[in-house]
Amino acid sequence: MAFNIVVCAKQVPDTNEIKIDPVKKTLIREGVPSILNHDDANALEEALKIKDKWPDTHITVVSMGPPQAKDLLIECLAMGADKAVLASDRALGGSDTWATSNALAAAIEKIGAYDLIFAGRQAIDGDTAQVGPQMAEKLGIPQVTYVKEFEIADDRKTITVKRALEDGYELIEIKTPCMLTAIKELNTPRYMSIGGIYDAVNAEIPVWGAADLGVDPDKEVGLEASPTNVYRSFTPVPKGKGVMIETDSDKETADKLIVGLKSKHVI
Ligand SMILES: Cc1cc2nc3c(=O)[nH]c(=O)nc-3n(C[C@H](O)[C@H](O)[C@H](O)COP(=O)(O)OP(=O)(O)OC[C@H]3O[C@@H](n4cnc5c(N)ncnc54)[C@H](O)[C@@H]3O)c2cc1C
């Protein structure tokens, strides 16, 4: 029996290109150089390693985003994924994490049978790390986040996971079907292969809208249905250059610091 993996991959603005829509207060994505979210590349790489070990593994990559997100899916196919689908519809625009996980859960159910869902720990733009766990809740499956290592049992029914903690790790056993979120320590993603690129650019990538997903644009997805509205987002003004106080003694350093703080009326 094939082992079915779904990888969730998000297209994110290349970090130097973050632009905020002053009216909708959401990220401007159209026409902005974008990349495959780093942690999602690790999630895909881990799925490909499973396929290296078990060739009957089938990998589907799903993304929700504007039409240009197809480029990211071509990249994932060129790395070795078997299939890719794009959830794209104006009605999905501006979705917060709750709404995004509604759309992705619906897409995953439409894809069909799965044994493992692999998401990234977090996306470098929204940075909430919420979508993975929310999807698992919606699909009613167990989940482990911050996966730094894991072992799938030969029967492919049980996975033993090392979950990263700040000061160590947890060892967790989980039954499939389940959802895991990848961190960058997990692996080093492979490059696209020439043959893979050639096949990927000609691959058929279905695009599913809200109607195809069976989600309600008024209640489940999109800016209006999103419980979280970004009140204000802005690029913080860079702070001035700090002052290094270096002297031969701590007392001298402390004295100089006090003079400096007094001159700025901090104390
Ligand atoms: C600056 C900023 C702040 C925001 N703050 C919030 C907030 O506080 N609360 C809130 O609800 N929304 C917030 N949003 C909106 C949020 O970014 C979007 O809902 C987004 O689609 C998902 O959240 P995320 O980027 O944090 O993803 P995360 O939860 O960090 O993503 C985790 C993983 O889920 C998968 N995933 C996430 N999005 C997609 C996708 N579109 N397609 C495929 N896989 C995906 C990927 O594998 C990813 O690695 C914010 C957006 C911005 C730009």
Determine the pLDDT at residue 62. 98
Q: How far apart are the first and last CA of the chain?
A: 71
Check if the beta carbon of residue 36 is closer than 8 Å to that of residue 163. no
CA of 128 to the centre of ligand 1 (A): 6
Determine the pLDDT at residue 16. 58
Burial of 93 from C-beta contacts in 10 A (0-12 / 13-18 / 19+)? middle
Q: What is the pTM of this model?
A: 0.88
What's at 260, amino acid-wise?
G
The C-alpha atoms of residue 247 and residue 39 are separated, in whole angstroms, by 44
| Whether residue 76 has its Cβ less than 6 Å from ligand 1 | no
The C-alpha atoms of residue 69 and residue 83 are separated, in whole angstroms, by 15
Nearest CA to ligand 1 atom 27: 123
Ligand 1 atom showing the smallest separation from residue 128 Cα:
26
The C-alpha atoms of residue 28 and residue 65 are separated, in whole angstroms, by 12
Cis peptide before 177 (omega within 30 of 0): yes
Mean pLDDT by 10 residues, the chain (267 residues): 96 73 65 89 98 97 95 97 97 94 98 97 93 98 97 96 95 97 96 92 96 96 88 74 90 94 91
CA of 96 to the centre of ligand 1 (A): 7
Burial 151-176 (b: 16+ CB within 10 A, else e): ebeeeeeebebbbbeeeeeeeeebeb
Determine the pLDDT at residue 57. 98
| Whether residue 25 has its Cβ less than 6 Å from ligand 1 | no
Determine the pLDDT at residue 143. 98
* Residue 10, SS3 per DSSP: coil
Backbone angles phi, psi at 60, to 5 degrees: -115, 130
Determine the pLDDT at residue 20. 65
Check if the beta carbon of residue 144 is closer than 8 Å to that of residue 174. yes
Determine the pLDDT at residue 25. 61
